[in-house]
Structure 1
Amino acid sequence: MTKIDEIAPDLFRLSIYVPQLDMQFNHFLVRDDEPLLFHAGLKGMFPALKEAVGKLIDPTTLRHVAWSHFESDEVGGLNEWLELAPQAQPVCTLIGKLVSVDDFAIRPALGMTADDVLPTGKYRYRFYPSPHIPHGWDAGVLFEETTKTLFCSDLFHHFGDVAALTENDLIAPTHQAMQTLQQGPLAGYMPYTRQTEGVLHQLAKLQPETLAVMHGSSYRGECGQLLTDLGSVIKETFDS
């Protein structure tokens, strides 16, 4: 079952909980003149996500499918969306376009830098590169400038079938999840480099007011300090 929650104006969280992993897989639909989906989802989740999107918009009118980094839970169902919605384009970082997506996708991607703006009607998006944060050379985070929403992918990953939106601090559950991952077969889940804290400080300067989180609750409130604190948590957990 896909849970649908509006976590900001025109921004819908489509969440599928997998009990075996004790983890939510969250996808975000923006309802606008040119609808945008952030996270194409795993290929096996496509039918459930298609049904959920169909409760909000005509899925064939989807115009943009975006994600942070090239990983199955973010891009697995991409081509299914592109086949369903003939005007939809993939949207990712420029590096993602060049090194992975244009070979994988049935249509070329829009590869964005932080200087590029993607308008969808009422909303405006920029892609900020964040190499290896959370994963991959191609990683980036999408920022909507009107509502100040940061689509932050696996940043603030935490476990459980949790609330769609919280105003509680995310640092403690994120720290616990990182420690759990680091002690198991997924050790090295997130690298720490000399750029990590600097990138997060730059994102904090955007002063986001909503964090759209891939695994776990999204967050509403003053997000800058959370992003700054996250750098220290990543350093403590993964700097070894």
Structure 2
Amino acid sequence: MDTDVTEIAPDIFRLSTFVEEADLPMNQFLVRDEEPLLFHTGMPMLFPSVSAAVARLLPPDALRWITFGHVEADESGSMNHWLAAAPHAQVAHGAMGCFVQIGYLADRPPRPLDDGEVLDLGARRVRRIETPHAPHGWDAGLLFEETTSTLLCGDFFTAFGRPPAQTEHDIVGPALAAEDNGNATALTPTLGATLRALADLEPRVLGLMHGPAYRGDGPTALRDLASAYDSRLDAALERVRR
């Protein structure tokens, strides 16, 4: 498997490996700075390809931060591989996730992050945003890079198929089609509000874990996805009432 590298914002790189059997791209994001950060680790089987891609941008042992949205094989599966490759790196994750999972899974103690806490990487600043159960996982959260207004979206807008590296076309329709096939998103009363709060950040770039980097109207895409999920939740509740 080959991992493609695309710069989606200044010094923010999408590392994408298409996995045929899943019909999905698996994307990691590298922020190249004084304290380099990797968002998503990929599954263990992807580590050789992804680490080779990172090596095209900086020495892997220069990584300072390893982080991800939530604990799941494709987001955190290679965590300890990266800790071994980067002896000065530390896993940074939401405080609750560190307490219930990462503190027991990581080979070195993690750095707990509070909701809204910022890691200053040098020229770039990444903010942890807690999104419990959105799209799924008690420990779920996202990263927002403040200087470029880049939102690393995790599993939001997941779509099947091989996408381009970047797009300005619709990402909501493909995400809802994927939802029809996989039902991966937890429909809760807070889901729509979570997406609308992310829209209020006015992101200029959306970095999708299973899709392209989106350079269209990010706030509108997030609000449209929120409305679609609210409608699905209402329909599900109506079926229960019947």
Give TM class, smaller chain: over 0.9
Which deviations, in whole Å up to 9, do the C-alpha atoms of 1:131-150 show, x marking residues without a partner?
11111110001111100111
SS at match of 1:168: coil
The answer to whether the 8 Å contact 1:126/1:143 transfers is yes
The count of aligned residue pairs is 234
- Correspondence for 1:228 among 216, 223, 227: 223
Which deviations, in whole Å up to 9, do the C-alpha atoms of 1:189-208 show, x marking residues without a partner?
21111111111111111111
Aligned partners of 1:176, 1:238: CA distance in 2, in Å? Answer: 16
Which deviations, in whole Å up to 9, do the C-alpha atoms of 1:145-179 show, x marking residues without a partner?
10011111000001111111111121111111111
Structure 1 position 55, deviation (Å): 0.8
Give the aligned partner of residue 215 of structure 1.
210
The answer to whether the 8 Å contact 1:178/1:237 transfers is no
Give the aligned partner of residue 176 of structure 1.
177
- Correspondence for 1:198 among 186, 189, 193: 193
Give the aligned partner of residue 27 of structure 2.
26
Structure 1 position 238, deviation (Å): 5.6
**Unpaired stretches in structure 1, ≥5 consecutive residues:** 183-188
Letter in 2 for 1:78: M
Give the aligned partner of residue 60 of structure 1.
61
The answer to whether the 8 Å contact 1:179/1:237 transfers is no
Aligned partners of 1:180, 1:233: CA distance in 2, in Å? Answer: 16
The answer to whether the 8 Å contact 1:113/1:126 transfers is no
SS at match of 2:135: coil
Give the aligned partner of residue 89 of structure 2.
88
Give the aligned partner of residue 109 of structure 1.
110
Q: Map 1:112-127 onto structure 2 (within 5 A).
A: 112-127=113-128
Where has structure 1 moved over 4 Å in runs of 4 or more?
none
Give the aligned partner of residue 51 of structure 1.
52
SS at match of 1:16: strand
Q: What TM-score do the two structures reach when normalised by structure 1?
A: 0.94
Give the aligned partner of residue 97 of structure 1.
98
Aligned partners of 1:67, 1:10: CA distance in 2, in Å? Answer: 18
**Unpaired stretches in structure 2, ≥5 consecutive residues:** 237-242
The answer to whether the 8 Å contact 1:68/1:140 transfers is yes
Structure 1 position 111, deviation (Å): 1.6
Aligned partners of 1:238, 1:49: CA distance in 2, in Å? Answer: 37
Aligned partners of 1:100, 1:33: CA distance in 2, in Å? Answer: 28
Give the aligned partner of residue 8 of structure 2.
7
RMSD: 1.2
Letter in 1 for 2:201: L
Give the aligned partner of residue 38 of structure 1.
39
Percent pairwise identity: 43
SS at match of 2:181: helix
Q: Name the CA shift for 1:15/1:238 in 2 (closer, same or farther; >3 Å).
A: farther
Which deviations, in whole Å up to 9, do the C-alpha atoms of 1:84-120 show, x marking residues without a partner?
1111011111111111001000112122123421000
Structure 1 position 232, deviation (Å): 2.1
Letter in 2 for 1:163: P
Letter in 2 for 1:203: L
Give the aligned partner of residue 134 of structure 1.
135
The answer to whether the 8 Å contact 1:92/1:109 transfers is yes
Structure 1 position 18, deviation (Å): 1.1
